[in-house]
Chains A and B, each alone.
Chain A
Amino acid sequence: MNTNHILSAFDRDLEGVQAKVMRMGGMVEQALRDSITALLSHDIEMAARVRQDDRAIDELDEAVKSDCARILALRAPTAVDLRVVLSVIEISSNLERCGDYAKNIAKRTPSVGVQHDIMETGTALRRMAEFVQAMLSDALDSYIHQDEDKALDVIQRDVEADQMYNTLFRSLLTHMMEDPRSIATAMHLHFIAKNIERVGDHATGICEQAIYVLTGEMPQEPRPKQDSTTRM
């Protein structure tokens, strides 16, 4: 739907709220990047900044929701317009959660010591974080460019993110069994890995919204699930 509304203010409203969500996406990507960098370089100040900046993401989420409520009340959107508004509400929630995960990683940073044998998992953690960040950024891209193929591709990639998490889980478990003194750090690192894995799920959620806006239906295939840690 590329043609404009007869009432141009309606177009401005929809574009405005979508722009806000995209700005939020940029802030969340930054927060995730910084939280991982702070963790791996044990930069407490940077971690504190991530925690502080999360407030701005939360405020943007509230602003998006109230803009959407206003559009629903004043413009009574239908069809693709309605789907855009609904998707924006959903994506805003997805991003807000991702922001919380970054904040949680930052919160744990001071407690994660620089224990060398365990920080080997740091490399794996960084790789996973980069992988998931790329998923998130492609998810937002697929939404704004209405690219169904890209959205489906990101959904498929979530399998790999889940597998990365499984591997990390196993290796952290091994560390804890071998050396009980590593338990505290390993537990923190495990929660961090889980947080990163969850960001992948939210990226998938954003892609589902991209497909919903385009087709009016949620993707048919069940979301691939590869988290096998519940059986370990």
Chain B
Amino acid sequence: MYDTTSEKDVDQKTIKFSARKVQVFYGDTHAIKDVDVDIEDKTVTAFIGPSGCGKSTFLRCLNRMNDTIDICRIEGDIRLDGEDIYDRRVDPVQLRAKVGMVFQKPNPFPKSIYDNVAYGPRIHGLARSKADLDQIVERALRRGALWDEVKDRLHAPGTGLSGGQQQRLCIARAVATEPEVLLMDEPCSALDPIATAQVEELIAELRRDYSVVIVTHSMQQAARVSQKTAFFHLGNLVEFGETGNIFTNPEDKRTESYITGRIG
């Protein structure tokens, strides 16, 4: 049932996102400097680094969430399946349907569980009938590992769920539009260890179908869930490699200092 692909099997993967010479400026602040990175399909990629290193900023470039910030300016080239996502012809709303996002704090809409999940498919016209939509909602909730817990109360408000359930609801909402990539910005930092484990288990399953990029402050979480790890420091991508290597034998002294918890 589960594929037992180990973290060693990350080579020979197709590239989903390809970023070249990416620069991000917030006004005069140079937040991301010359970042080159390839993000693979069906792989969990973790972004780690100290606060303010630019990892979330870079994540938000991947589905143009930074477009909403007026003073933010992005240079360089980011391609999804070879297509420039900053091309004028690309509709950011369509892009975000393909590149879903889950945030730090669970943020369900103040609507029913059903409507939370049905929202995306509705606005993107993915369902032709009520039965169709029911099916999409069930599939998404199953993917979010939440179906069994909520199938009897689909019309109860999403905000009435526990924190961990709310986060899984947000993941279900994100996968309902059948995205190709899932971006997660510290998805477990507001969750208890059990809910965290459930979300991590879910990430491992989602990896079979999606490319997942996760920003995390927890070294152990990056080590547990990802196959590739990128270490950001002061806006630079310092090191990018196979997770097992990064955590046993990193090449760069800055990476080593950070992951071992040293001042440096």
Q: What string of 1s and 0s marks CB contacts (under 8 Å) between B243-264 and chain A? A: 0000111100001110111111
Contacting chain B: which of A28-36, A78-86, A147-155, A172-180?
Answer: A78-86
> Does A77 belong to the interface (CB within 8 Å)?
yes
Count of inter-chain pairs, beta carbons less than 8 A: 45
> Does A10 belong to the interface (CB within 8 Å)?
yes
> Does A216 belong to the interface (CB within 8 Å)?
yes
Which residue in chain A gives the minimum CB-CB distance to B249? A216
B interface, how many residues as a size bin? 10 to 19
A217 CA to B261 CA, complexed, in Å? 22
Q: Cβ of B259: which chain A residues have Cβ within 8 Å of it?
A: 78-79
A4 CA to B261 CA, complexed, in Å? 9
> Does A74 belong to the interface (CB within 8 Å)?
no
In the bound complex, do residue A7 and residue B261 qualify as a contact, i.e. CB atoms below 8 Å apart?
A: yes
In the bound complex, do residue A1 and residue B256 qualify as a contact, i.e. CB atoms below 8 Å apart?
A: yes
Chain A residues in the interface with B (C-beta under 8 A):
1, 3-7, 10, 76-83, 216-217
A217 CA to B248 CA, complexed, in Å? 10
In the bound complex, do residue B261 and residue A6 qualify as a contact, i.e. CB atoms below 8 Å apart?
A: yes
Given A216-B248, A216-B249, A6-B219 contact (CB < 8 Å): no
Q: Cβ of A4: which chain B residues have Cβ within 8 Å of it?
A: 262-263
> Does B95 belong to the interface (CB within 8 Å)?
no
A6 CA to B264 CA, complexed, in Å? 10
In the bound complex, do residue A78 and residue B219 qualify as a contact, i.e. CB atoms below 8 Å apart?
A: yes
Interface of chain B, main secondary structure? helix
In the bound complex, do residue A79 and residue B264 qualify as a contact, i.e. CB atoms below 8 Å apart?
A: no
In the bound complex, do residue B248 and residue A79 qualify as a contact, i.e. CB atoms below 8 Å apart?
A: yes
Which residue in chain B gives the minimum CB-CB distance to A215? B249
Q: Cβ of A82: which chain B residues have Cβ within 8 Å of it?
A: 247-248
Shortest C-beta distance, B220 to chain A (Å), equals: 6
> Does B204 belong to the interface (CB within 8 Å)?
no
Chain B residues in the interface with A (C-beta under 8 A):
219-220, 223, 247-250, 255-257, 259-264
Given A3-B264, A4-B263, A5-B261, A79-B249 contact (CB < 8 Å): yes
A106 CA to B239 CA, complexed, in Å? 54
Q: Cβ of B257: which chain A residues have Cβ within 8 Å of it?
A: 1, 3
A1 CA to B263 CA, complexed, in Å? 11
Q: Cβ of A3: which chain B residues have Cβ within 8 Å of it?
A: 257, 262-264
Shortest C-beta distance, B2 to chain A (Å), equals: 25
Q: Cβ of B220: which chain A residues have Cβ within 8 Å of it?
A: 76
Shortest C-beta distance, B250 to chain A (Å), equals: 6
Shortest C-beta distance, A5 to chain B (Å), equals: 5
Which residue in chain B gives the minimum CB-CB distance to A7? B261
In the bound complex, do residue B256 and residue A79 qualify as a contact, i.e. CB atoms below 8 Å apart?
A: yes
Shortest C-beta distance, B229 to chain A (Å), equals: 11
A175 CA to B161 CA, complexed, in Å? 86
In the bound complex, do residue B223 and residue A78 qualify as a contact, i.e. CB atoms below 8 Å apart?
A: yes
A113 CA to B248 CA, complexed, in Å? 53
A3 CA to B264 CA, complexed, in Å? 8
